[in-house]
Amino acid sequence: MAGVSATVNGIAAPLYYVSPGQLNIQIPYETAIGTGLSWAVGNNGQVATYSFPVSASAPGIYLQSGNAITP
């Protein structure tokens, strides 16, 4: 993870996993719903940006057969 950072609309996004081909981040809770959001990833001085929409969502808990709880 050394040297890697991510921001969403200028707000630091927590990193969960970093590899040469994948980056898992958490979208900050302060991120507004809508379009035109900017994601920036920095890696040792190099920065890449990407714009994307954000939609409202909520976690769900479901029951499988046999009443086993599953996300």
Q: What single DSSP character describes residue 71?
A: -
Q: What is the pLDDT of residue 16?
A: 92
d(CA 41, CA 16): 14
Q: What is the pLDDT of residue 35?
A: 67
d(CA 44, CA 53): 27
DSSP string covering 1-70, please?
-TTEEEEETTEE--EEEEETTEEEE---TTPPSEEEEEEEEEETTEEEEEEEEE-------EE-TTS-EE
Q: What is the pLDDT of residue 14?
A: 92
* Reported pTM: 0.67
Tens of pLDDT, residue by residue, the chain (71 residues): 778 899 988 889 999 999 888 989 888 888 888 766 788 888 888 898 988 888 888 777 778 877 777 76
Q: What is the pLDDT of residue 71?
A: 63
